[in-house]
Amino acid sequence: MSQRESNLSTPRLSKKLQVEDGSDYLEVKSPNPMAKIEEGALREGPPPDTKSKNYFGFLFQYAGAGLIYSVLYSLVYPFLNNYLRMSGIATASAYVLIALPWSLKTFFGIITDCYPIYGYRRRPYMVIGWVVCTICSFVMAVMPEGDPYYPDNAWASLTESELTADQIAQINYNAPDAGIKFVLLMIVANLGMVLSFTACGGTLVELSQREGEKRRGDLQTMIWVARDAGGVLASALVVFGFNSVDDG
């Protein structure tokens, strides 16, 4: 009993003291140098350097995500509402449906973690997501948008009773129906982007765990800067690209 109490009361050496003492801890220590462990890194490997060319693609991934999402979301008002004159309920639903894929991030995360493709848990899903997004974006770019609802956008401020019979005959009542296919393509494009974004988020977690306490958060800050930069570029594209009378 006294021997047991003696063993329990014996203070345990810290990792640093065990190394300095030359104990057997050296045989089972982590591959990381002790200096790296003391810096607070949670995962093996060199800390990510966002200035290195090896991480340019990682930053462009987030910049592209910010660009695509902002463009799709910003197109609803000038294109669906002003150009095609979809109803208020339809445009409000479009905002919700375009953002709907973000609610699937948890499920995408489970899929990328549990079902690797050819041994890779991140890169194949990134590629699949961007391929889907690119195809949908290309189809929207080349698909004819059709004639606007009003041949002259000034008619939008007039009630139907104030329009002449000739003006009413020129109204394209089928224009709102053309917006449905664009909304569907926007949803699928955003779905592909969210899949890629989720896979990249898993990589972000792994890379962030390599950062020590002094640099922790640097990578996450840079990817949000890249994403916001993509959003700013998207806003500029929509402002200048849809700056016509028909688009309001």
Three-state DSSP string of 103-126: HHHHHHHHHHHHCCECCECCHHHH
Q: What is the predicted pLDDT for the residue at 191? A: 94
Q: Is residue 30 part of a domain?
A: no
Q: Is residue 73 part of a domain?
A: yes
Do residues 71 and 140 touch, judged by C-beta distance below 8 A? no
Which residue range forms the structural domain that includes residue 212?
A: 50-241
Q: What is the predicted pLDDT for the residue at 211? A: 74
Q: pTM for the whole thing?
A: 0.75
- Termini Cα distance of the chain: 88
Q: Is residue 192 part of a domain?
A: yes
Q: What is the predicted pLDDT for the residue at 173? A: 87
CATH classification at residue 139:
1.20.1250
β-strand partners of 120: 117
Q: What is the predicted pLDDT for the residue at 247? A: 60
| pLDDT digit string, tens, across residues 42-84 | 667 677 777 778 878 888 888 999 999 899 988 898 888 888 8
Percent of the chain with pLDDT over 70: 79
Q: Is residue 45 part of a domain?
A: no
With tokens 């972000």, the residue in question is 204
Number of alpha carbons in the 13 Å side-chain half-sphere of residue 67: 16
Number of domains in the chain: 1
Enumerate residue ranges in the chain where pLDDT < 70: 1-43, 45, 244-248
Encoded amino acid at 201, one letter: G
Of 216, 220, 205, 210, whose CA–CA distance to 36 is shortest? Answer: 210
Q: Is residue 139 part of a domain?
A: yes
Q: Is residue 212 part of a domain?
A: yes
Sign of the alpha-carbon torsion through 155, 186, 200, 213? positive
Q: What is the predicted pLDDT for the residue at 181? A: 92
Q: Is residue 5 part of a domain?
A: no
